[in-house]
Each structure stands twice: as structure tokens, then as C-alpha cells.
């Protein structure tokens, strides 16, 4: 990949739409625009003013034939997305029109952009840091309002600022540590090992605070995993359909209807939630059903929240709640809500049996009818509280992703070693080494010290044209 090339790509999604945008970036942009786009106002044809939109036509420079009617704009560096000269052509959004316009731009001297190459250039040219580049992708893939809000914060530098604060504190600590290497005899601003250690603690606190946002970030990006489990025929698939307001899962009177896990994305309080319907759990000789049950148990283990469904119109003994006894080791990670379904039918077990079995475990119990929809609003607000806590107005903070987490954990580990070294009065050279490692790790988050192959991996996850 040569960063000096002028690149071009279709920036709008494939398919039919009102407008399709061809984006061109690099020193050749204006030349290419002039060849393939002719403004209707003659005076401007040779003299595009920067950041002005012109009405004109896309033409084939070889034949002079008109290809489409379009708007064209030239934006001179550095006030552009990539900080390079950029041109854009807004033609009609049909696959043929955008493809032909792109083809003309390529023939006029542009190279087809790689995935994420525009954003990569914005990063390499210093307009945005790596957390902002990743935020661009998060905005594009945000599925809910809260996901969008978190991504916009990161895009405007929320995470970068926090990381830069940590970097600055680390750099200062490094300078203080090195001072005693350079001037071992003199008492210039000399800080005893205990003081250095304490400063390390303050930096670690900031790192740990950021690390604690990882789970929230994961949920906003990938969705919270909500597994619906229980005995056959209790109404799990009906509940999935009711929550997603769809007919996604097959519902039938026959126990053992659902064999595979079925997923549907829903939105609870702005959080994306992946609702997973599972096969009813029971002893079964059928190999297909057995595999389904294995998947149910796996889904239960990976879930953030488990909805354990019981059929209130049948005996509880029939529904063998003991399969759920393995929950204890998972209790820390997974939170569960017990649901009594089918409350529109005459109820077999009243609250007494129930309270004895479940409430002593401190579990939430919600009564619903997946059929009539009764109680669903209570269930949803219960789930919402579990995710967001009782806070009414939830505002997502600067949230970290797995890449950030790994780097921050490395930095924290180096700081722990640094502190250990302070405690044992190790030489300043050794202490400085650990701090440099912490600095390097933190720098990776914003892209200062990120290896080339990691950068390529990050940008390759973008779509073409971004």
C-alpha cells in the first residue's frame, strides 16, 4: 500500500438509493475530478473553489459522453477527512451509476482504496488517533442509541484524553525516576522510593478505572447476552417472539420443538440485547435433541443474564428445576430472573412452593403471559435495571475494547513490577525500564507505539470507502 497514491472508492452502501458517493483522496484528486466531472457553470470548470458543491455531469473523458448528473466537490487539504486533497462526486445511487463513475475515476488515475484506507490516512496524517479511528467504526456499527453515544464520545477524543492523561503522568514519573539515575549524588527534586510508589498507585487507579469499563463497552458493541432457558414446552420460544415482537422462533404444542439456539437482537433502554432462545432441557435419547440441549447449556454459561422460564399452569416437579443447580459457580457472572409463564391459565403452583424454592436464593421472580403480553413490561424494566442499575439517565463513559484492555493490563502489570521494585529499593535503571514498558503499552491504545501489523488488522475491519 503506497500512501502517496490517490485512492478512490464508493462510500455509500451497495444497492439502490437516492444518492451514491464516490470519494477520492490524494494529491491527484482535483485533476481526476476535473476529468470526470464537468460543472454546468462554465466559469468554474477550471477553477473549483475548495469546499463548494457544484452541479454538473459525470462524463467519460475519452468519449465525452454524459454518464450521470451529479454534484461534485473539491476539498483542499488539510481541512478534510484524510487531511489530504479530497474530491467527492454525488451521483445517483444505483449500482450501475456509482460503478461507472468509480471506474472513470480509476481510469483517470486513482487506485481503488483498501478497506478503511481513508480513515487510516486520517490517522497516519495525525488528524485522529487510533481510538478515534476505532470510534468511526463503532459509530457505523452502532445498533442502538447508547452505542452511538459512547462511540461519539470516543470520536470526539474522550478516550484519547484519558489515555493522554495517563501517559503524561507516566512520563512525569519516569522523569522523576531517571533524575536519580542522572544525578545520584545531588538532591535535586529527589523523591524517595516510597513517593515514587505512591505516584504509581495513583496512575494504576486511573488505569483500573478505565479497565472497569470494558464489560459495558462489550455489551454496547456486541449486545448483552440474554439466554432463555427452561424445561420443554414452558413457552421459551413464545417469550423470544414476544420480546422481539416477531415470529422468529417456531412455537408448537409439542415439547422439544426448539432444537437449535435461535437469536434475535432487541433494544432495551438503548442497550443492544441478544436474546437467545434455547432447546428445552430434559433427558433425551434423540441425538439431535441432545445436541440442542448441549447448546442450551453452553448458551446459559455464556449468558450475561439468564431468564429461567417455568410453566405456572403445570406442576413444578414436572419441570425439574434441578438442572439449574449448576448455577452456583456461575452466579457471580450470570444473573438470573425466574419467570412464571402462562399466567393467563389456571395456576398450578401458588406462591408458597415457589417462594420456598426460589426466593430463598434471592432471585427475582416475574409473572408473565407470553401469549397475552401481560407482565412483559415489568420483565423488561427488570432486565433494564439489571443492565444499567437503578440510574434513570445513563450516559456511557469512554468505553474500552479488547485491544485497549490488553494494552492497559500490560501497562498495569509493568506498574506493579515498578512498585515492587520501589519496595525492594531496586536501582533506578530497573525502575525506569518498567515505566518505559508501561508507557509503550499505553501508547499502543492511541496508536503512538502500535506495530504496523496491528494497525493493518484494525483498518481491515472497516468497510470499503471509509
Interacting residues with ligand GTP (CB under 6 A):
232-238, 251-253, 255-258, 279-280, 341-342, 344-345, 369-371
Least distance CB 344 / ligand GTP (angstroms) = 5
User: How far out from the chain centre does Cα 276 lie?
Assistant: 19
Q: Which CB atom, from 54 or from 354, has the smaller least distance to ligand GTP?
A: 354
**Residue 252 near which of ligand GTP, Mg ion, none (CB within 5-8 Å, type-dependent):** ligand GTP
Write out the chain in H/E/C secondary structure: CCCCCCEEEECCCCCCEEEEEEEEECCCHHHHHHHHEEECCHHHCCCCCCCEEEEEEEECCCCCCEEEEEEEEEECCCCCCCCCCEEEEEEEECHHHHHHHHHHHHHCCCEECCCCHHHHHHHHCCCCCHHHHHHHHHHHHCCCHHHHHHHHHHHCCHHHHHHHHHHHHHHHHHHHHHHHHHCCCCCCCCCCHHHHHHHHHHHHHHHHHHHCCHHHHHHHHHCEEEEEEECCCCCHHHHHHHHHCCCCCCCCCCCCCCCCCEEEEEEECCEEEEEEECCCCCCCCCHHHHHHHHHHHHHHHHCCEEEEEEECCCCCHHHCHHHHHHHHHHCCCCEEEEEEECCCCCCCCCHHHHHHHHHHHCCEEEECCCCCCCCHHHHHHHHHHHHHCCCCCCCCCCCCCHHHHHHHHHHHHHHHHHHHHHHCCCCHHHHHHHHHHHHHHHHHHHCCCCCHHHHHHHHHCCCCCC
**Residue 256 near which of Mg ion, ligand GTP, none (CB within 5-8 Å, type-dependent):** ligand GTP
Q: Which CB atom, from 176 or from 370, has the smaller least distance to ligand GTP?
A: 370
**Residue 150 near which of Mg ion, ligand GTP, none (CB within 5-8 Å, type-dependent):** none
Q: Which CB atom, from 175 or from 345, has the smaller least distance to ligand GTP?
A: 345
Ramachandran region, residue 274 (left: φ > 0; alpha: ψ -120 to 50; beta: rest): beta
Piece of 7-15, 74-82, 137-145, 258-266 that binds Mg ion (CB under 5 A): 258-266
Q: Which CB atom, from 128 or from 242, has the smaller least distance to ligand GTP?
A: 242
Piece of 68-76, 80-88, 256-264, 423-431 that binds Mg ion (CB under 5 A): 256-264
Q: Which CB atom, from 29 or from 237, has the smaller least distance to Mg ion?
A: 237
Piece of 42-50, 177-185, 236-244, 411-419 that binds Mg ion (CB under 5 A): 236-244
Least distance CB 257 / ligand GTP (angstroms) = 4
C-alpha atoms less than 13 angstroms from C-alpha of 47 in its C-beta half-sphere: 4
Least distance CB 288 / ligand GTP (angstroms) = 13
Least distance CB 279 / Mg ion (angstroms) = 7
Q: Which CB atom, from 133 or from 243, has the smaller least distance to ligand GTP?
A: 243
- 258 near Mg ion (CB under 5 A): yes
Least distance CB 302 / Mg ion (angstroms) = 19
* Residue showing the smallest CB distance to ligand GTP in the complex: 280
- 241 near Mg ion (CB under 5 A): no
Candidates 25, 132, 177, 237; binder of Mg ion (CB under 5 A) is 237
Identify which of 137, 161, 140, 218 has the alpha carbon closest to the alpha carbon of residue 399. Answer: 218
Least distance CB 395 / ligand GTP (angstroms) = 36
Name every residue whose Cβ is closer than 8 Å to that of residue 424 and which is 6 or more positions away in sequence.
Answer: none
Q: Which CB atom, from 236 or from 417, has the smaller least distance to Mg ion?
A: 236
Identify which of 112, 37, 124 has the alpha carbon closest to the alpha carbon of residue 73. Answer: 37
**Residue 238 near which of ligand GTP, Mg ion, none (CB within 5-8 Å, type-dependent):** ligand GTP
Q: Which CB atom, from 196 or from 310, has the smaller least distance to ligand GTP?
A: 310
Least distance CB 298 / ligand GTP (angstroms) = 16
Piece of 133-141, 230-238, 308-316, 330-338 that binds Mg ion (CB under 5 A): 230-238
Least distance CB 348 / ligand GTP (angstroms) = 13
Least distance CB 365 / ligand GTP (angstroms) = 16
Q: Which CB atom, from 237 or from 319, has the smaller least distance to Mg ion?
A: 237
Least distance CB 240 / Mg ion (angstroms) = 8
**Binding stretches for Mg ion (CB under 5 A):** 236-237, 257-258
Amino acid at each position: 500500500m503506497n500512501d502517496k497514491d490517490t485512492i478512490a472508492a464508493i462510500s455509500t452502501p451497495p444497492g439502490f438509493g437516492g444518492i451514491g458517493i464516490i470519494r477520492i483522496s490524494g494529491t491527484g484528486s482535483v485533476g481526476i475530478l476535473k476529468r470526470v466531472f464537468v460543472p454546468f457553470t462554465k466559469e468554474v470548470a477550471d477553477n473549483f473553489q475548495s469546499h463548494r458543491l457544484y452541479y454538473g455531469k459525470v462524463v467519460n473523458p475519452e468519449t465525452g459522453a454524459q454518464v450521470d448528473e451529479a454534484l461534485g466537490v473539491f476539498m483542499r487539504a488539510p481541512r478534510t477527512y484524510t487531511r489530504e486533497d479530497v474530491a467527492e462526486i454525488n451521483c445517483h445511487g444505483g449500482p450501475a451509476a456509482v460503478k461507472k463513475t468509480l471506474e472513470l475515476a480509476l481510469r483517470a488515475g486513482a487506485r481503488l482504496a483498501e478497506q478503511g484506507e481513508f480513515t487510516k490516512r486520517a490517522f497516519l496524517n495525525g488528524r485522529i488517533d487510533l481510538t478515534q479511528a476505532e470510534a468511526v467504526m463503532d459509530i457505523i456499527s452502532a445498533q442502538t442509541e447508547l452505542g452511538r453515544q459512547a462511540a461519539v464520545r470516543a470520536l470526539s477524543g474522550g478516550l484519547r484524553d484519558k489515555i493522554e492523561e495517563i501517559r503524561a503522568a507516566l512520563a512525569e514519573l519516569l522523569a522523576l525516576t531517571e533524575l536519580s539515575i542522572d544525578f545520584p549524588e545531588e538532591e535535586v527534586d529527589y523523591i524517595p522510593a516510597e513517593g515514587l510508589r505512591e505516584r504509581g498507585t495513583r496512575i494504576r487507579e486511573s488505569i483500573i478505572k478505565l479497565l472497569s469499563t470494558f464489560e459495558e463497552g462489550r455489551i454496547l458493541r456486541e449486545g448483552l447476552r440474554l439466554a432463555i432457558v427452561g424445561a420443554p414446552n414452558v413457552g421459551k420460544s413464545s417469550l423470544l417472539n414476544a420480546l422481539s415482537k416477531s415470529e422468529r422462533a417456531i412455537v408448537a404444542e409439542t415439547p422439544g420443538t426448539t432444537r437449535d439456539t435461535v437469536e434475535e437482537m432487541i433494544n432495551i433502554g438503548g442497550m443492544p440485547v441478544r436474546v437467545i432462545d434455547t432447546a428445552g432441557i430434559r433427558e433425551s435419547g434423540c441425538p439431535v435433541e441432545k445436541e440442542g440441549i448441549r447448546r442450551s447449556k453452553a448458551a446459559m454459561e455464556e449468558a450475561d443474564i439468564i431468564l429461567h422460564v417455568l410453566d405456572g399452569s403445570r406442576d413444578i416437579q414436572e419441570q425439574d428445576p434441578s438442572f439449574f443447580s449448576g448455577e452456583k459457580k456461575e452466579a457471580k457472572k450470570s444473573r438470573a430472573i425466574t419467570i412464571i409463564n402462562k399466567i393467563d391459565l389456571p395456576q398450578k403452583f401458588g406462591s408458597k412452593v415457589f417462594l420456598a424454592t426460589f426466593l430463598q436464593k434471592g432471585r427475582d421472580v416475574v409473572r408473565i403471559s407470553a401469549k397475552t403480553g401481560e407482565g412483559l413490561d415489568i420483565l423488561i424494566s427488570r432486565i433494564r435495571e439489571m443492565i444499567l442499575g437503578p440510574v434513570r439517565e445513563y450516559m456511557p463513559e469512554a468505553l474500552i475494547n479488547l485491544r485497549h484492555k490488553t494494552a492497559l493490563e500490560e501497562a498495569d502489570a509493568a506498574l506493579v513490577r515498578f512498585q515492587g521494585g520501589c519496595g525492594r529499593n531496586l536501582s533506578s535503571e530497573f525502575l525506569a525500564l518498567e515505566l518505559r514498558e508501561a508507557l509503550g503499552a499505553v501508547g499502543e491504545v492511541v496508536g503512538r507505539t502500535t506495530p504496523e501489523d496491528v494497525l493493518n488488522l484494525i483498518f481491515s475491519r472497516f468497510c470499503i470507502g471509509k
